[in-house]
Amino acid sequence: MNEELLEKLRSAKTAEEVIALGKEYGKELTEEQAKELLEMTGNGTGELSDEELEAVAGGDIWDKLCEFFGGFF
């Protein structure tokens, strides 16, 4: 798993920033995918709700990253 990508994703505040991050890693993300990733990482606030923290701890975020970024991980 790529911790650097997750850290960059957590610092993104808009769907456009997430889409640009995807391009940086050679992946085309849809606006819907970008928004989903934002929600899973605290929606750009830098803070996670209890539900979001549980999703990250449970691996849901990694599942989505693997789905959206494919074999990158």
DSSP result, 18-73: HHHHHHHTT----HHHHHHHHHHTTTTSS---HHHHHHHHTTHHHHHHHHHHGGG-
Q: What pLDDT is stored for residue 1 in this prediction? A: 43
Residue 62: Cβ-neighbour burial (10 angstroms; 0-12, 13-18, 19+): middle
Is-contact 70 22, C-beta < 8 A? Answer: no
pLDDT tens figures, 12-61 = 989 999 999 999 988 899 999 998 888 887 755 556 565 655 655 555 76
Confidence band for 73, pLDDT divided at 50, 70 and 90: very low
